[in-house]
Amino acid sequence: MPGPVVEPQHLADFLGQDIQDDRARLIIAQAEALCRAVVDPLPDGASAVVLSVAARAYANPQGIQAETIGPYSVHRPPSQAGLYMTRDERRSLKLMSGRGGAYTVNTTPPGAGPPPPRPASWDLPWWYA
């Protein structure tokens, strides 16, 4: 199995704070496992999604939605506690790996030849031209 796509120092830089190295490695490994459950192998650019999942879990492991300290108050959107992926994160991984989005399906059988010529009766009258 390849090495981690995100290092603890990346998480520290992203959060803008000092972090516990062992805790960060555990959370990053779990975030990668979640991402690999959606797309395996991880595509180029997946580090952004892994970092997002890991940062959310590292910064708010209990899933706290509101906090007030003196005059300072913070309200976060409702979420789950611990590690989880949002719908947008799953969609991003799929798009990065080439899955999802628009595609076409050729329904012509492999041995089919060219279409038959159009009958002359299908030609439009001169006043439609």
- CA dihedral defined by 42, 44, 47, 48, rounded to 10 degrees? -120
Residues counted in the chain: 129
Q: Which residues are CB-contacts of 101 (< 8 A; sequence separation ≥ 6)?
A: 95
**Overall average pLDDT of the 81-102 stretch:** 81
Question: pLDDT tens-digit profile of 26-78?
Answer: 888 989 999 888 888 888 888 889 888 888 888 776 666 777 788 887 766 66
Q: Nearest CA to 6 among 50, 44, 38? A: 50
Predicted pLDDT at 39 = 87
pLDDT of residue 78: 62
CA distances from 84 to 72, 89, 108, 115 (A): 28, 10, 42, 52
